[in-house]
Amino acid sequence: MTDFERKLYQIILNMRLYGKNPTLPELKRKTGKSEQEIRKATKSLVHKGTISWDKEKKIWII
């Protein structure tokens, strides 16, 4: 896991612990990265099986 993937994972994890589902604008603000960089990192985390997306509930599953 790269440093950015680890940071993104930690942000998603912390927000999910408090019952929030992070939006793309929130992730952009918290990471300072572009939408393309965030999408690339989240796809990598999903591919590695670290996180997954529940399409019905529209939430990240950790």
Q: What is the pLDDT of residues 8-56, one digit of tens each?
A: 999 999 999 998 999 999 999 999 999 999 999 999 999 999 999 999 9
Domain ranges of the chain: 3-61
What pLDDT was estimated at residue 30?
Answer: 94
What pLDDT was estimated at residue 62?
Answer: 87
Q: How would DSSP label each residue in 15-60?
A: HHHTT----HHHHHHHH---HHHHHHHHHHHHHHTS-EEETTTTEE
Is this model's pTM higher than 0.85 or not? Answer: yes
Dist. CA 34–CA 18, nearest whole Å: 25
Could you tell me the two tokens for 11?
């942000």
Q: Which of 29, 31, 25 has its CA nearest to residue 9?
A: 31
Domain 3-61, architecture per CATH: Orthogonal Bundle (1.10)
